[in-house]
A and B are shown apart, each in its own frame.
Chain A
């Protein structure tokens, strides 16, 4: 029965099957793309973890090598030079140091949010840490670290999105700020009436704890020294300028 209607129906059905297969193709294709995107995410996470580990181990190596260098330099040089080098390294943050001082622990407020209040007010910000560090310095702190990051002459404390960066490393609450110096002086400088820490506690309800200690250890700066644009001023030029 080779009828015209038979041909037409076969053609129509073929058309429908073609459409179905094409739609199916496209759907599975996008579906698989999504699957591969997910596996890519896992890939990147793994990579990030391994790179972070590598960075940490390299940072440890830098500190160890620096110690080695300073011990090598120490041998075979005059006592005064050794002492000078040691002092400079300590002040520059290249040597781990210890001494009496104060530990300030800073954490986000646990107070309930008032209606209409900005939730940002209850979080510790980069400016809070910066101000506390500044007050520590003005009270005679000789070495400061924030969550184990030694503050050097080039260290920054800044906000990057939702995290705070110190020495280009992320730090997270609770923030432990250690300072070596005269403990009494540091404490009275920080807890002065109407001072910054008091206002943090009273107005925003931040968790601030101060603890004096006879022995605080502050690690060395783990990053690299970047002196791209620096060069010492020649002695001659210096004289001329003074004249």
Chain B
């Protein structure tokens, strides 16, 4: 399962490097937070899949709302003059490590 995900991820990277789209420099920070949230959702989904608790609707909706919410939070923080994106970085970073740890344990158990 996770091999398939990795494969798709690499294909996505290749497509992304070929596509001639560049983000405006102003939004780079917000999209970076969005990418972090998306990564978190993906690892969360893989973890849930391994725990047999995977729900397609929750996964897709979580992916979209987490990404948009994180980018929006960063944007709001900038408008307020508050480094609110740090909250997103800390939360998603911590969850990312947690999910990775659980996935690692499952893989170790499996093989």
Contact = CB atoms under 8 A, between A and B. Distances in A.
A21 B35 contact: yes
A22 B17 contact: yes
Contacts of B107: none
Contacts of B70: none
Interface residues of A, number: 29
Interface residues of B, number: 39
A10 B5 contact: yes
A155 interface: no
A13 interface: yes
A12 B17 CA distance: 17
Given A6-B59, A30-B22, A15 B9 contact: yes
Given A31-B25, A31-B28, A18 B56 contact: no
A113 interface: no
Contact of B56 (A9, A25, A28): A9
A16 B42 CA distance: 10
A13 B21 CA distance: 19
B47 to A, nearest CB: 11
A27 B9 contact: no
Interface of A: 1-3, 5-7, 9-28, 30-31, 34
